[in-house]
């Protein structure tokens, strides 16, 4: 329980983006699915992308359509900083 992030979700956690390879043998897919379930139960935003045929990590998670998914997530969840003299 102490090692699973799913048991440490609280209502003040930030939005969470997860890319997980379905062939990952280091962190099993059920771990990402468990934290997704915990986030949903807490009413928090979590986006899980399961990458077919991929293992654990690497740059392939952030190129092509995955780069677009990352960009869209950041656009949706980051608020622009209000700086004096900057018009948005």
pLDDT in 10s for each residue of the chain, 88 residues: 888 888 899 999 999 999 999 999 999 999 999 999 999 999 999 999 999 999 998 888 889 999 999 999 999 998 776 556 555 5
Backbone angles phi, psi at 16, to 5 degrees: -130, 130
56 to 3, 47, 50, 72: CA distances (angstroms)? 18, 18, 11, 22
CA atoms of 11 and 20, how far apart (whole Å) = 23
State pTM to two decimals. 0.81
Tokens of 4: 């699973």
């Amino acid at each position: 329980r102490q090692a699973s992030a799913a048991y440490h979700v609280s209502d003040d956690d930030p939005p969470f983006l997860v890319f997980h390879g379905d062939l990952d043998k280091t962190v099993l897919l059920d771990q990402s699915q468990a934290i997704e379930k915990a986030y949903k139960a807490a009413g928090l935003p979590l986006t899980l992308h399961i990458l077919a045929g991929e293992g654990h990590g690497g740059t392939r998670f952030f190129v092509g359509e995955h780069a677009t998914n990352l960009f869209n997530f950041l656009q949706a969840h980051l608020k622009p900083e209000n700086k004096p003299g900057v018009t948005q």
